[in-house]
C-alpha cells in the first residue's frame, strides 16, 4: 500500500509539473499578431521621410584632381591625359547617370630648379579649360632622379575641394625626394634627408590633411622606381583601416601587406568614415590607353565609399540634418560616439572558441516569445504574392527557451552577438541584441520579413541557375522576454554559420572585386540583378555577405517608399542607381537573359524579361528556426508529420528528442510519445495530452497564424508552365 501511495504521489507531482506548461491559445496568437501590426504601424508613422533622397547625386558629385609629373620622360602621358580627359569626363558622368556634378583640377610639378616648378588649375567643369591648361605643360627638366612630389601634393591639398567624393589621380614615373621613398644612392638625390627640400615639407602631415579631408588617392604606376614611395604613402592610409591596394608586381608588396595588417590591427576604429577611404596603386605602364579606364574605375570606387559613409551617417543619426555641411558634422559625431562604444564593448568580447558541448558553458537561460517566418512550399505564385503585400509574408508566433553565453563574441555597429542553443535541439545559433535601446520588435519583424522575401527570390533563382550557383538565406526569428512589456528588450535568433565571412556587395555601390571569378561572388552579383529584373524594378536585394552560398543580413531597396520603411538600409530609387553604377553583368546574368541595364535606369525606361519558367515545388526545412532550402524530392518526410519536409541535420532530432509524458486528461494514467524537437521547431510548447484527448484549436496548431496550413498550401501549389514577372 505504501509503495502504491508513493507511486500515486509521484504521478500526481509529475502531472502537476508537466501540466504547468502550456502554449498560447489560438486567440492569444491572433491577439499577438494584431499587436505586432499596431506596433509596426506606430513605428512607421514615427519614421520620418527617408533622408536619403538625392543621396546618389550627393555621393557621386566628384572632385577629380590630376597630379602629374611634367618632367622630360612624361611627354606621352601628358599627351594621353590631354587627349583622354573629355572621354574620362564623359565616362564618369555617364556612369553616374548624368546626375552628379564632376569637377576637374590639375597640378603639374617638376623639380625645385625648374621654372615654373608647380603649375595649377583649380576645379572647373569646363573640359576646354582643362585641355588648354594641359597643353601648356612642357615635358622638360627634372635634374636628379627624384622630383618635387611633396610640393605637388601640397598644392593639390590647397585646391578648393567641395564635392563629397574626392580623388587624386597621381601619374608619375619618379619618386619623391628623400631616401625613405626610393632605393637610389644619396648621390642620386639632391635632398636625401627627409624635410631638407627648400619648402621643408614632410609627407606625414600632408597625408594626414588628405585623410582628414576625405581625399582618396590613386597612384598610376609607370616604373618600379615609385614602388617604395607607394608603400610609404600606403601606410598612412592603412593606419586608419582604409581600403588599401598595392600591385602584386610592386617589389614591396609582401612587406606592404604585412604592414597594412599590423597597422589595421593596431587601429582602435573599425567603422569610422575615414576607414572607408581608398588608397590604390594601379598599373599604367606604357599603355596610355589604359589611363581612361583606370581613372574611371578609381573614381567609381571612391564614390561608392563616399556613399557608404553617407548611408552610415544617415542611419545612425536617424536621418537628422539641418546643417550646412551635414555629412561632415554627422561623421564627426559618429566617430566620437562610435569610438567610445568600441572602446567600452571591445574589451568585453569573448575571444575563445565556442564550447558547445561543455555543460553550463551556455550560462544564461531565456524564456522568450516572438515571431518567425512561416515555412511554406514555394508555389508558382508565392513570390508574386509576397512582393504584392507584406501580409503575404506569413508569420507564426514562437515560444522558445534558449541557453546563451552571457558574454558576446562579436559586435557590429549596432548589435552584439552571443552563442546560443535552444532547449530541445543540438543545432547551433547566435543571439543578436542591440547595444542601445530604440529598436522595437516591429523593427526586427521587418528585418525578418525582408529575409523571408530574399529566400523566396533565392528559391526561384536556384531553380534557374542550378546547384552550382545556388544560394540560401538564413532564417531570422525575432524575440523578446515573455515578461517584457516595454518592447525594447528585443533580440533575434539566427543559425550559427561557421567559416570565413565574405562581403560580396553592399547597399550603395560596393562590389567585391578581389576574386571576380569566384562562383559564389558571381552568383551574388547576378542574384541582386535578378531580384530587380524579376520584380520589374520594384525590389533590389543587395548587401550580400555570408559563408560560401549561405547569406545573411541582406538589404532590400524598394520602389514603394512604404515597403520596408523601418529598414535603415533601404535607399529606395537611389539604391537602384548605386547598384547599377558599378554592376557588370556576368555569365549568370547572361544565362538568365536579364535585360535591365544602367542605361535603362538613366533614361527611366528599363526593359525587363517578362516570362520565367515555372519551377518544381521547392520547400524549406519545416524547422522554422532552420528554414534551409531543400528539394521536395530529397527532403526527409514521415507519415507521423504529414506535409513536413526536413533537412539532413534536423531530421534525426525528431526521434532522438522523443520522451514519454503523462497525459493530463481525466481518466486512467497513461503515457504518450512527444518529440520535443518537433514542437520546438514550430515555436510551440509540447502538448500535455495524448493525441486521443487533444481538443482542436485550444492551442496554436502547426497552422500559421497568418495564412493557411502548410499542407493545404502544398496541395494547392499548382503547376504552371510560365510565371509572368509583370503580372504581380
Confidence of residue 634 (pLDDT cuts 50, 70, 90): confident
Q: What is the pLDDT of residue 645?
A: 92
Mean pLDDT of the chain: 83
* pLDDT tens per residue across span 548-565: 999 999 999 999 999 999
- Residue 314 makes CB contacts below 8 A (sequence gap 6+) with 51, 52, 55, 330, 568
- Distance (Å) of CA 402 to CA 295, 367, 430, 590: 53, 7, 10, 45
Cα R_g (the chain), whole angstroms:
30
Topology adopted by domain 59-314: Rossmann fold (3.40.50)
Give the residue with greater pLDDT, 336 vs 196. 196
Q: Which CATH number applies to 497-615: 2.40.110.10, 3.20.200.10, 3.40.50.720, 2.40.30.270?
A: 3.20.200.10
Mean pLDDT of 322-340: 42
> What integer pLDDT is reported at residue 559 of this predicted model?
95
The partner residues of 367 in beta bridges, in order of sequence, read: 401
Are the C-beta atoms of 166 and 214 separated by less than 8 Å?
yes
The helix (run of H) or strand (run of E) holding residue 283 is: strand 278-283
**pLDDT at site 481:** 85
Question: Count of alpha carbons within 13 Å of 14, Cβ hemisphere only?
Answer: 14
Percent of the chain, pLDDT > 90? 51
Mean predicted confidence (pLDDT) in 433-453: 82
Q: For residues 255 and 240, which has the higher predicted lDDT (pLDDT)?
A: 240
Rounded to 5°, angle at Cα 226 from 223 and 227: 100
- CA dist list (Å): 555 to 118, 318, 449, 543: 47, 17, 11, 5
Residue 727 is predicted with a pLDDT of: 65
- Per-residue 3-state assignment (H helix, E strand, C coil) for 394-438: CEEEEEEEEEECCCCCEECCCEEEEEEEECCCCCCEEEEEECCCC
Average pLDDT over residues 451-478: 93
Per-residue pLDDT at 243: 80
What mean pLDDT comes out for the span 349-372? Answer: 92
pLDDT > 50? residue 580: yes
Task: Give the relative orientation of helices 290-316 and 572-582 as an angle to the nearest 10 degrees.
Answer: 150
pLDDT of the residue at 704: 40
Please give the pLDDT value at position 5.
60
> Given a cut of 50, is residue 712 above it in pLDDT?
no
Domain map (residue ranges) of the chain: 59-314, 497-615
pLDDT of residue 656: 96
The pLDDT of residue 329 is 40
pTM of the model: 0.83
**C-alpha cell recorded at residue 390:** 507584406
Mean pLDDT of 252-258: 77
Cell of 133: 591648361
The three cell numbers locating residue 186: 644619396
pLDDT band at 703 (very low <50, low <70, confident <90, very high): very low
Amino acid at each position: 500500500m505504501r509503495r502504491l501511495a508513493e507511486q500515486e504521489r509521484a504521478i500526481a507531482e509529475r502531472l502537476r509539473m508537466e501540466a504547468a506548461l502550456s502554449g498560447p491559445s489560438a486567440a492569444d496568437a491572433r491577439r499577438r499578431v494584431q499587436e505586432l501590426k499596431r506596433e509596426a504601424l506606430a513605428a512607421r508613422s514615427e519614421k520620418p521621410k527617408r533622408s536619403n533622397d538625392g543621396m546618389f547625386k550627393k555621393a557621386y558629385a566628384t572632385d577629380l584632381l590630376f597630379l602629374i609629373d611634367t618632367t622630360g620622360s612624361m611627354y606621352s602621358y601628358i599627351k594621353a591625359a590631354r587627349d583622354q580627359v573629355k572621354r574620362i569626363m564623359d565616362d564618369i558622368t555617364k556612369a553616374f547617370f548624368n546626375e552628379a556634378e564632376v569637377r576637374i583640377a590639375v597640378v603639374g610639378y617638376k623639380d625645385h630648379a625648374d621654372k615654373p616648378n608647380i603649375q595649377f588649375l583649380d576645379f572647373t567643369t569646363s573640359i576646354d579649360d582643362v585641355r588648354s591648361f594641359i597643353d601648356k605643360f612642357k615635358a622638360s627638366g627634372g635634374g636628379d632622379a627624384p622630383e618635387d612630389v611633396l610640393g605637388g601634393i601640397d598644392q593639390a591639398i590647397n585646391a578648393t575641394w567641395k564635392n563629397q567624393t574626392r580623388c587624386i589621380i597621381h601619374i608619375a614615373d619618379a619618386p619623391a625626394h628623400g631616401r625613405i621613398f626610393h632605393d637610389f644612392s644619396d648621390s642620386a638625390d639632391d635632398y636625401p634627408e627627409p624635410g631638407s627640400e627648400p619648402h621643408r615639407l614632410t609627407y606625414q602631415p600632408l597625408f594626414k590633411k588628405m585623410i582628414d579631408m576625405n581625399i582618396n588617392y590613386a597612384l598610376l604606376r609607370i616604373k618600379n622606381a615609385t614602388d617604395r614611395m607607394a608603400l610609404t604613402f600606403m601606410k598612412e592610409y592603412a593606419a586608419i583601416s582604409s581600403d588599401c591596394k598595392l600591385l602584386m608586381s610592386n617589389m614591396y608588396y609582401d612587406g606592404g601587406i604585412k604592414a597594412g595588417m599590423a597597422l589595421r590591427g593596431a587601429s582602435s576604429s573599425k567603422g569610422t568614415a575615414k576607414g572607408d577611404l581608398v588608397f590604390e596603386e594601379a598599373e599604367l605602364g606604357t599603355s596610355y590607353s589604359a589611363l581612361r579606364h583606370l581613372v574611371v574605375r578609381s573614381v567609381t570606387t571612391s564614390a561608392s565609399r563616399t556613399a557608404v559613409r553617407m548611408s552610415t551617417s544617415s542611419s545612425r543619426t536617424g536621418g537628422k540634418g539641418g546643417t550646412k555641411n551635414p555629412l561632415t558634422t554627422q561623421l564627426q559625431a559618429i566617430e566620437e560616439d562610435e569610438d567610445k562604444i568600441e572602446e567600452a564593448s571591445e574589451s568585453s568580447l569573448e575571444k575563445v572558441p565556442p564550447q558547445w558541448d561543455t555543460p553550463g558553458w551556455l550560462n544564461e537561460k531565456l524564456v522568450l516569445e516572438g515571431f518567425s517566418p512561416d515555412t511554406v512550399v514555394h508555389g508558382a505564385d508565392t513570390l508574386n504574392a509576397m512582393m504584392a503585400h507584406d501580409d503575404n509574408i506569413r508569420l507564426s508566433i514562437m515560444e522558445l527557451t534558449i541557453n546563451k553565453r552571457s558574454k558576446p563574441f562579436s559586435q557590429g555597429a549596432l548589435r552584439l552577438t552571443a552563442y546560443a542553443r535552444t532547449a530541445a535541439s543540438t543545432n547551433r545559433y547566435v543571439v543578436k541584441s542591440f547595444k542601445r535601446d530604440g529598436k522595437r520588435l516591429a523593427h526586427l519583424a521587418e528585418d525578418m520579413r525582408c529575409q523571408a522575401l530574399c529566400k523566396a527570390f533565392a528559391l526561384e533563382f536556384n531553380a534557374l541557375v542550378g546547384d552550382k550557383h545556388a544560394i540560401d538565406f538564413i532564417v531570422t526569428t525575432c524575440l523578446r522576454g515573455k515578461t517584457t512589456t516595454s518592447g525594447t528588450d528585443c533580440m533575434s535568433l539566427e543559425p550559427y554559420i561557421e567559416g570565413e565571412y565574405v562581403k560580396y556587395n553592399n547597399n550603395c555601390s560596393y562590389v567585391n572585386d578581389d576574386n571576380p571569378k569566384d562562383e559564389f561572388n558571381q552568383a551574388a552579383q547576378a542574384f541582386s540583378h535578378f531580384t530587380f529584373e524579376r520584380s520589374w524594378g520594384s525590389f533590389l536585394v543587395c548587401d550580400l555577405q555570408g559563408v560560401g552560398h549561405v547569406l545573411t543580413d541582406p538589404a532590400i531597396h524598394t520602389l514603394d517608399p512604404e515597403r520596408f520603411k523601418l529598414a535603415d538600409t533601404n535607399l529606395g530609387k537611389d539604391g537602384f542607381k548605386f547598384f547599377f553604377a558599378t554592376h557588370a553583368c556576368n555569365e549568370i546574368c547572361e544565362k538568365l537573359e536579364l535585360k535591365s541595364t544602367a542605361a535603362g535606369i538613366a533614361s527611366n525606361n528599363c526593359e525587363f524579361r517578362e516570362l520565367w519558367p515555372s519551377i518544381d515545388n521547392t520547400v524549406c526545412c519545416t524547422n522554422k528556426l532552420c528554414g534551409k532550402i531543400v528539394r521536395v524530392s530529397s527532403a526527409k518526410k514521415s507519415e507521423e508529420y504529414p506535409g513536413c519536409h526536413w533537412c539532413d541535420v534536423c531530421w534525426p532530432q525528431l526521434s532522438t528528442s522523443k520522451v514519454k509524458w503523462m497525459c493530463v486528461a481525466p481518466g486512467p494514467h497513461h503515457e504518450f510519445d512527444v518529440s520535443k524537437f518537433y514542437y520546438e521547431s514550430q515555436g510551440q510548447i509540447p502538448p500535455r495530452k495524448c493525441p486521443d484527448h487533444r481538443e482542436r484549436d485550444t492551442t496554436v496548431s502547426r497552422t500559421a497564424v497568418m495564412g493557411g496550413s502548410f499542407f493545404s498550401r502544398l496541395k494547392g501549389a499548382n503547376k504552371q508552365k510560365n510565371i509572368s514577372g509583370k503580372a504581380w
